[in-house]
Amino acid sequence: MTTIKEKAKDLIKVDRRDSKLALAHIYVAFIALFIGGLCGLLQVLVRSGKFTLPWGIGYYQILTIHGVLLGLILTTYFILGFQIAAMSRTSGTFTNKQRLIGWIGFWVMTAGTVAASIMVLLNEASVLYTFYAPLQAHWIFYVGMALVVVGSWITGIAQIMKYVEWRKVNPGQPSPLLSFMVIVNMAMWLICSLGVAVEVVFQLIPWSLGWVDKVDVLLSRTLFWYFGHPLVYFWLLPAYMVWYVIIPKIIGGKIFSDALARLSFMLFLLFSIPVGFHHQLTEPGIDSFWKFLQVILTMMVVIPSLLTAFSMFASFELRGRQLGGKGLYGWFKKLPWKDARFTVPFIGMAAFIPAGAGGIINASYQMNQLIHNTIWVTGHFHLTLATTVVLTFFGAAYWLIPHLTGRVLTKQMNKLAIIQAIIWSVGMTIMSGAMHIVGLMGAPRRSDFSTYGGAQQATEWIPYQVAQAVGGTILFVGIILVLYIVANLLWFAPKGETEFPIGEVSEHAEKTPMWLENWKIWLTICIALILFAYTVPIIDIIQNAPPGSKGYKLW
Amino acid sequence: MHIHKYEKWWLTFGISSLVLFLFIVGFSAFHYGSHPPTGKVYIDPERVDEIAPFNKPGVHKVAGEEWDYEVVLVASAFFYNPPEIEVPLGSKVKFIATTKDVVHGFQVAGTNINMILEPGYVSEYITTADKPGEFLILCNEYCGIGHSTMTSMLKVVE
């Protein structure tokens, strides 16, 4: 039952000036999707062995573009755009000062993106998005990357200022759930990106400028992965925001529990950072004990994931039964499958079941040896990031963009959006499935087409590489479709009002305890866990460091 | 904080499975010594060729150790030395490897042997060659333009 008060809330629109800022981010995100996606298509074609790149373009050059644009630029820009709109919608319009800070952040990030892109295009930085030393890119590439991170901090500060302002005006009250989630994600981002900032600013930039001759390779990789794993949660948490807060509203249901939603976000904050070693399990120089300890901490994210899965399906079932669904599964059929805003993210959610299982395998200590750096891993994050997260973002774009542009999603576009998600699922099942299987057989990730000197094993991989090309091509069709829909929503769709859906908490849920929003407690535990997991091994890495490495440009 | 009855069951089941799972992983690690490869030996990456055992890459039979053979291997852009390794079926082998330049991978396709080679560090892994055949060794950490041509071959012979 919607009350009059709730109806009034539904009509709240994001202020036009805030919309502009959010849209600026979304533009860059979808440009990145197009270029990065095109590079992805070229890669799968090359790796099938049937196609070579023209004009002397290098495989690793397009691989760098693909990774940087889709892993770092598309994600960060879409997330910040979404979060700006979410803060404005739930905590109120930004002040002029906050908005100005937001714009400064946007332009700093964009300047960094352009600088880094130019260096990659000039083939001065074919170091992939992980930029592992001692491969040495042009210093401008590293400066560009640093600016992207610093810009995201500035935009993040604008969001945090809005939150602080809301708390001051509403003392003793829990903040709006969506705002709270945005701030958890930003807190995680600020803490984790310090690692990569230290790596880039204090190690890679001085080294690439020639101010110092040598770099400590293991330290740089450790700092990178201190950042690299929370990075994936930085992608995932906005998808969770959509699932927890937006989807219940779209299906006409309620948020199952506000308190459990907050608890699960806080657990993600705690257990997404002190875990980077599970990306370094096969590396020398790190003691087995600390690797294992971080494996345990990694696996703790299973708990908030289970909480989330329960809440989602509880919301769905309650709504399905309300609509008259009977029996064990009857409620499932009653869900609004014809609504792209629900169905597209739902497919993403479903993909997270195999994706999460694969993730557990990857981080399972000894089991990592079987799959480390094989294309299984690529298959894994094309399920997590490139299906779960991206389909949720697409599903969100279908109401967010028209809300911001003052247009509506037409019936045809809604239908096309569902077709797009189905095409995506088919393409991804083929591509990611082939990657998983051939990865178990030993095929490496991040490698140009090769017959490996005619080795028997490598010959057996080729049919799977052809399958990857087929799946990848279907996915590119999916990218074209989503860009068509996005262009329509930006410039051509009929004018009108589109709701920014915000779920209400179920009347059966209990009041949210304030300790869930006590940042002193949570940040203290968060930092304590990081110090616990990293202090001893990092001291060990620095004290027992071998002679450093000079830079190499081997591409 | 109120938690629904079914959710309590769900969490109890989930967390118990997790604890059991971590116990199994930990038990096989610390009781049976099944750890992923590591290594706490340091080396000057620019003088690898002069320093034992890397001054003599290849397969060496050893006595008085827990393992029968040592495979000493040096990686550099874009090849492995030696380009071919032969060990008898059933022998216990210790792989000792390092790199002279950038980070390389050392993966024996179709086996559990998979380690990162970092300049300045010696990576080690002990295993038993219990499957006969030819296994492709390849670099699985991007190292430059010739990355996918960097190979060697492990032959396990009867």
CATH number, position B67: 2.60.40.420
Which strand (E) or helix (H) includes residue A210?
Answer: none
Identify whether residues B24 and B88 lie together within a single domain: no
> Does residue A479 contact residue A66 with C-beta atoms inside 8 Å?
no
Query: Between helices A59-66 and A16-47, what is the axis angle to 10°?
Result: 150
**Nearest Cα to Cα of residue A180 among A228, A237, A106, A103:** A237
Size of interface A-B (CB pairs under 8 A): 229
Kindly determine whether residue B114 and residue A372, on different chains, have CB atoms separated by under 8 Å: yes
Q: Using CB atoms within 10 A of its CB, is residue A459 exposed (0-12), middle (13-18) or buried (19+)?
A: exposed
Measured between CA atoms, the residue of chain B closest to residue A554 is B144
CA A456 to chain centre: 38
Per-residue pLDDT, A5: 64
Q: Where are the alpha helices (DSSP H) in A48-121?
A: 59-66, 75-91, 96-121
Tens of pLDDT, residues A414-436: 999 999 999 999 999 999 999 99
Per-residue pLDDT, A7: 64
Measured between CA atoms, the residue of chain B closest to residue A60 is B145
- A331 has a pLDDT exceeding 50: yes
Q: Which residue has the higher pLDDT, A510 or A375?
A: A375
The set of long-range contacts for A330-338, using a CB threshold of 8 Å and a minimum separation of 24, is: A335/A251, A336/A250, A336/A251, A336/A252, A338/A414, A338/A418
> Does residue B156 contact residue B129 with C-beta atoms inside 8 Å?
yes
Identify whether residues B27 and B13 lie together within a single domain: yes
Per-residue pLDDT, A508: 80
Identify whether residues B26 and B43 lie together within a single domain: no
Per-residue pLDDT, A328: 87
Q: What is the mean pLDDT of residues A51-65?
A: 91
pTM of the model: 0.95
Alpha-carbon distance A479 to A477, whole Å? 5
Distance from CA of A136 to the nearest CA of B (A): 10
A-chain residues within 8 Å CB-CB of B22?
295-296, 299
Tokens 């959006």, residue located? A417
Tens of pLDDT, residues B18-74: 999 999 999 999 998 889 988 888 999 999 999 989 999 999 999 999 999 999 999
Q: What is the ipTM of this complex?
A: 0.94
Partner A, chain B 36-55, Cβ-Cβ below 8 Å: 36-46
- A3 has a pLDDT exceeding 70: no
Structure tokens at A496: 């009108």
> Does residue B43 contact residue B122 with C-beta atoms inside 8 Å?
yes
Question: Which residue from A257, A450, A547 is facing B148, i.e. has the nearest CB?
Answer: A450
Alpha-carbon distance A174 to A218, whole Å? 43
The answer to whether A138 is a known catalytic residue is: no
Identify whether residues B19 and B97 lie together within a single domain: no
Per-residue pLDDT, A35: 96
* Residue A539: φ, ψ to 5°: -60, -40
Q: What is the DSSP letter of A69?
A: I
The answer to whether A229 is a known catalytic residue is: yes
Which phi-psi region, left, alpha or beta, contains residue A545 (left: φ > 0; alpha: ψ -120 to 50)?
Answer: beta
Q: What is the mean pLDDT of residues B122-127?
A: 94
Alpha-carbon distance A455 to A325, whole Å? 57
The answer to whether A380 is a known catalytic residue is: yes
Identify whether residues B30 and B50 lie together within a single domain: no
Kindly determine whether residue A259 and residue B39, on different chains, have CB atoms separated by under 8 Å: no
**Nearest Cα to Cα of residue A201 among A215, A183, A218:** A215
Kindly determine whether residue B119 and residue A217, on different chains, have CB atoms separated by under 8 Å: yes
Half-sphere exposure of A6 (CA within 13 A, CB side): 13
Tokens 């009350």, residue located? A3
A55: Cβ–Cβ under 8 A, 6 or more apart, which residues? none
Alpha-carbon distance A308 to A257, whole Å? 10
Q: What is the mean pLDDT of residues A87-112?
A: 96
- A2 has a pLDDT exceeding 90: no
Residue count of chain B, please give it. 158
Question: What type of residue sits at position A245?
Answer: V
Structure tokens at A146: 């640093």
C-alpha distances (whole Å) from A298 to each of A233, A356, A446, A536 are 12, 12, 25, 18
Alpha-carbon distance A351 to A353, whole Å? 5
Count structural domains, chain B: 2
Structure tokens at A193: 């990106």
Provide the b/e sequence for A334-344 (b: ≥16 CB within 10 Å): bbbeebbbbbb
Query: pLDDT category, A506, cuts 50, 70, 90?
Result: confident
Identify whether residues B31 and B105 lie together within a single domain: no
Structure tokens at A300: 């703790």
Tens of pLDDT, residues A249-261: 999 999 989 999 9
Identify whether residues B78 and B26 lie together within a single domain: no
| Domains in chain A: boundaries | 11-504+522-543
Q: Which of A202, A292, A446, A449 is catalytic?
A: A446
A-chain residues within 8 Å CB-CB of B115?
282-284, 369
Q: Which residue has the higher pLDDT, A393 or B37?
A: A393
Identify whether residues B31 and B43 lie together within a single domain: no
The answer to whether A436 is a known catalytic residue is: no
> Does residue B142 contact residue A133 with C-beta atoms inside 8 Å?
no
Per-residue pLDDT, A1: 46
Tens of pLDDT, residues B81-92: 999 999 999 999
Tens of pLDDT, residues A194-203: 999 999 999 9
Per-residue pLDDT, A510: 79
- B7 has a pLDDT exceeding 90: no
A294: Cβ–Cβ under 8 A, 6 or more apart, which residues? A274, A275, A276, A277, A278, A533
Identify whether residues B24 and B43 lie together within a single domain: no
Tokens 């929503």, residue located? A489
The answer to whether A233 is a known catalytic residue is: yes
Q: Given CB atoms, is B21 within the 8 Å cutoff of chain A?
A: yes
C-alpha distances (whole Å) from A251 to each of A216, A293, A319, A371 are 52, 41, 7, 39
CA B89 to chain centre: 18
Measured between CA atoms, the residue of chain B closest to residue A365 is B36
Alpha-carbon distance A233 to A275, whole Å? 12
Q: What is the CATH number of domain A11-504+522-543?
A: 1.20.210.10
B6: Cβ–Cβ under 8 A, 6 or more apart, which residues? A310
Q: Given CB atoms, is B126 within the 8 Å cutoff of chain A?
A: no
CA A499 to chain centre: 25
Kindly determine whether residue B151 and residue A453, on different chains, have CB atoms separated by under 8 Å: yes
Residue B143, domain extent: 38-157
- B75 has a pLDDT exceeding 50: yes
Q: What is the mean pLDDT of residues B99-114?
A: 95
Question: Which residue from A448, A457, A544 is facing B110, i.e. has the nearest CB?
Answer: A457
- A509 has a pLDDT exceeding 90: no
Q: Which residue has the higher pLDDT, A4 or B102?
A: B102
C-alpha distances (whole Å) from A389 to each of A59, A235, A355 are 26, 7, 11
Identify whether residues B31 and B70 lie together within a single domain: no
Distance from CA of B64 to the nearest CA of A (A): 25
Alpha-carbon distance A18 to A84, whole Å? 7
Alpha-carbon distance A137 to A447, whole Å? 19
* Residue A362: φ, ψ to 5°: -55, -40
Question: Which residue from A259, A302, A555 is facing B14, i.e. has the nearest CB?
Answer: A302
Tokens 């799972």, residue located? B21
Kindly determine whether residue B121 and residue A455, on different chains, have CB atoms separated by under 8 Å: no
Identify whether residues B89 and B142 lie together within a single domain: yes
Q: Which residues pair with B124 in a beta bridge?
A: B38, B96
Distance from CA of B1 to the nearest CA of A (A): 7
Q: Is residue A444 reached through a cis peptide bond, with omega within 30 degrees of 0 on the bond before it?
A: no
Identify whether residues B14 and B52 lie together within a single domain: no
- B1 has a pLDDT exceeding 70: no
